[in-house]
Chain A
Amino acid sequence: MAVQQPKKKGEYKYMQISLIQGILLALMAFVAAVDQQWEAFFWFRPIVVAFFAGIILGNVQLGLQAGAVAELAYLGLLTVGGTVPPDPLIAGIMTTVIAYTTGQSAETALGLSLPFALLAQWVGIFFNSAYSGFMGPLDRAAEKADVKKFKFIVYSAIVIKATVVALIVFLSAYAMQAPISNFVSTFPVFLIHGFEIAGGLLPAVGLALLLRIMLKADNAAYLFIGFLMATYLKLGNVLPIAIAGIAVGYIGYMNDKHHAKLSVATEGGSEDDGI
C-alpha cells in the first residue's frame, strides 16, 4: 500500500457531536437494534447505519465511505447458528463517529471501532443468556393460553435490549467523544497508518469466514474463476461475476437433479413421484 501522506499531528480537524446529534444517533441505534434482533430488514448492517449516522452528523460522504469499509469487514462475521459475532451495528456507527470526531480515514476508524464492537458482542451474549430466564414465565403463560402476558414478556425482551444498545451508542458517541479523539491524537503516524493497513486487511477475515463454511472440494475451482474475472476484466462492480455465478450454479443444479433422477431410475425404487 502506498503511504498516503499521513496528516501530521495537530492538523486533525476535531468535529464535535452535539447533544441532539447524540440523541438522534441513539434513537437510530434503538431502531437498528430491534431490526438486528429480528434480522428483518437488515437496517443493522454497517452500510445502512453508517449512512444514517452520516446524515445525522451532516457528512453523508463520510457515512458512505465508513459504511462500505465496515460492511465488507463484517461480511463474514455472522450470527449463523446462534453464535454472537463482534457487533456490526456498533461497528458501523462507531467507524463513522470515530472518523468524524478524529478526522481519520474510514479504514483507520474501523480498526479503532473494534473495542466498541467487542463490548456490544459481550452485551449480546449477556442478553442471550439472561433471556433464558424468561422461558419459564413464557411456558406458564403458554400453558394458560395467556396471550397478553406472553406478548408482554416477548416485547419487553426486545425493548430492554434495544434500549441498552441505544445507551451504549449515546455514551460512546456523545459522552466519550473528547476522550476518544484526545487519545487518538496522541498516536504517532506509524500507528495511525498501521490501523489503516489493518482496515484494508480486515475484509479478508470476513471472506475467509465465509469460505470456511462455503468452500468445498467440488466448488473450489469457481473461487479462482471469480478471482481471475475481477483481476483481469476491470469490472465496475461484482454484479457480472454474480450473474456468471448464477449461470454456473444453475448448470450445477440441473446436473444434480439429472443425476438424482438417473440414480433413482437405476435403483428402481421410484414410485412414479416424478417432479
Chain B
Amino acid sequence: MTVSRKKLTKQDITKMGLYSIIEQSCFNFERMQAAGFTLSMVPCFEKIYGDQKDEIAKAMVNNMDFINTEPHMATFLQGLVLSLEEAGEDRELIKNLKTGLFGPLAGLGDAIFWFTLLPISAAISCSISQQGSILGPLLYMAIWFVAAISRIWFGQIGYSLGVGAISKIRENANAITKAAGILGVMVVGGLIPSYIKLAFSSELKLWKVVSVQGIFDSILPNLLPLGFVFLLYYLLKKKNMNVIALIITIIVCSIGLSFFKLM
C-alpha cells in the first residue's frame, strides 16, 4: 500500500495504543470488545477524516462487529485497521481481515501474557512476598506496567506492517505459541513442588513404625503434589469436570482428611 494519504503520525498511533487500555470497557456477551475496540480508534478516525462526519460514522460502524482478542495485542489489529483506513482500502476488506485475525492473535496473546508471563511473574513475586518483602507485589506491578505499555509497541507494529502483518502473523504465530508453551509448561512444573502442599501427617504410620509420607518421599519427593496436579488435569480435560464443582470437592475432601487426621 503506497497510497499517500498519510495523515497519522507515529505519535497518533502511540496515543491510540495508550487509549486502547480502555478496550474492554462495556465488554458484553453479544459482541465482546466491539465498543472499546472502536472507541480507542475514534481519535485517529477523526484525524483522518477531519469534519467528514459521514466517513467517521462509516469507519466506526465498520468496527462494531463481534471481536474478542487478547487486550494487550488488540492494538496490533487497531494499528492494522488504521493503516488500511488511512490508505482508503475497501471497508469490506478491512472487516474481513479483522475478523480473520482476531482469533489467531488472541491465541498468540493468551500464550504470551496469560499462560507464560502471568505464571512466571506470579511465581517469582509470590516467593518474594512469602519471604515477607513488599518487593513481591511491587515487582509484579512493575512487570505488568511494562506489559500494559507494550500496547503502544504492538500498535506501531500493526500500523507499520499494514497488510504485510498478515503473513508475519501466519509465519510466526505457531512457532511463538509453541515456544511459549514450552516455557510455560516448564515453569508450571517448577511451581508444583513449591506451592502445592500435599503430604500425609507425620503421625500417620503403618504398624506404628513406617511413616506413610516417608514411603512417598523415598520414591520421589513431591510425588503427591505432582500426582495431584495430574489427577486434576485428568478430571478437567478428559472428564470435563466443572471447575467450581472441582474446587468444592477439594474443600470437602480436605475437611474429610482433616477429620480423620490423615493430614
Interface set of A (CB-CB < 8 Å, partner B): 1-3, 37-43, 45, 47-48, 51, 60-61, 64-65, 67-68, 71-72, 75, 77-78, 80-82, 85-86, 111, 114, 118, 127-132, 134-135, 138-139, 142-145, 147, 150-151, 153-155, 157-158, 190-191, 193-198, 200-205, 207-216, 218-220, 222-232, 235-239, 241-242, 244-246, 248-250, 252-253, 256-257, 260, 273, 275
Taking A150-B42, A198-B254, A250-B179 as given, write out 14 further A-B residue pairs in contact, using a Cβ cutoff of 8 Å, ordered by the A residue number. A42-B141, A47-B125, A51-B134, A68-B129, A158-B22, A190-B261, A195-B251, A205-B247, A208-B232, A211-B185, A211-B233, A242-B120, A242-B123, A245-B183
**Docked pose: A245 CA to B222 CA in angstroms:** 21
A134-B28, A154-B39 in contact; A72/B195 too (CB < 8 A)?
yes
B14 within 8 A of A: no
**Is A248 in contact with B26, judged by CB distance below 8 angstroms?**
no
**Is A64 in contact with B137, judged by CB distance below 8 angstroms?**
yes
A64-B136, A204-B225 in contact; A223/B188 too (CB < 8 A)?
yes
A42-B141, A197-B254, A204-B232 in contact; A241/B179 too (CB < 8 A)?
no
Return chain B residues, CB-CB under 8 Å to A223.
185-186, 188-189
**Is A207 in contact with B191, judged by CB distance below 8 angstroms?**
yes
**Docked pose: A138 CA to B171 CA in angstroms:** 36
Return chain A residues, CB-CB under 8 Å to B145.
41
One of B1-9, B60-68, B77-85, B92-100 contacting the partner: B60-68
User: Which one, A1, A45, A193, A241, contacts B140 given CB within 8 A?
Assistant: A45
In chain B, residues 1-55, which have Cβ atoms closer than 8 Å to a Cβ of chain A?
Answer: 21-32, 34-36, 38-39, 42, 46, 53-54
**Is A237 in contact with B124, judged by CB distance below 8 angstroms?**
yes
> What interface size band does chain B fall in?
35 or more
Return chain A residues, CB-CB under 8 Å to B183.
242, 245-246, 248-249
Nearest A-chain residue to B259, judged by Cβ: A190
**Is A210 in contact with B115, judged by CB distance below 8 angstroms?**
yes
**Is B57 in contact with A245, judged by CB distance below 8 angstroms?**
no
B236 within 8 A of A: yes
**Docked pose: A233 CA to B70 CA in angstroms:** 36
Nearest B-chain residue to A247, judged by Cβ: B183
In chain B, residues 160-175, which have Cβ atoms closer than 8 Å to a Cβ of chain A?
Answer: 167, 171, 174-175
For the complex formed, measure the closest distance between the CB of A33 and the CB atoms of chain B, giving whole angstroms: 12
Tell me if B's interface is mostly helix, strand, loop or mixed. helix
A47-B136, A237-B124, A256-B178 in contact; A195/B141 too (CB < 8 A)?
no
**Is B182 in contact with A198, judged by CB distance below 8 angstroms?**
no
**Is A158 in contact with B244, judged by CB distance below 8 angstroms?**
no
Return chain A residues, CB-CB under 8 Å to B188.
207, 210-211, 214, 223, 226
Return chain B residues, CB-CB under 8 Å to A1.
197-199, 201, 263
For the complex formed, measure the closest distance between the CB of B94 and the CB atoms of chain A, giving whole angstroms: 15
**Is A154 in contact with B228, judged by CB distance below 8 angstroms?**
no
Mask, B113-127, CB within 8 Å of A = 1, is 011001110111111
- In this complex, the member of B125, B187, B190, B236 whose beta carbon has the largest number of chain A beta carbons within 10 angstroms is B190
Q: Which 3 A-B pairs have the closest CB atoms?
A: A226-B189, A200-B197, A194-B255
**Is B229 in contact with A139, judged by CB distance below 8 angstroms?**
no
**Docked pose: A260 CA to B130 CA in angstroms:** 44
**Is A142 in contact with B57, judged by CB distance below 8 angstroms?**
yes
**Is A214 in contact with B225, judged by CB distance below 8 angstroms?**
no
A138-B64, A222-B189 in contact; A238/B120 too (CB < 8 A)?
yes
**Is B144 in contact with A42, judged by CB distance below 8 angstroms?**
yes
User: Which one, A81, A153, A216, A229, contacts B181 given CB within 8 A?
Assistant: A216
**Docked pose: A139 CA to B30 CA in angstroms:** 13
A47-B137, A190-B255, A227-B192 in contact; A38/B61 too (CB < 8 A)?
no
B212 within 8 A of A: no
User: Which one, B137, B167, B196, B261, contacts A207 given CB within 8 A?
Assistant: B196
**Is A205 in contact with B25, judged by CB distance below 8 angstroms?**
no
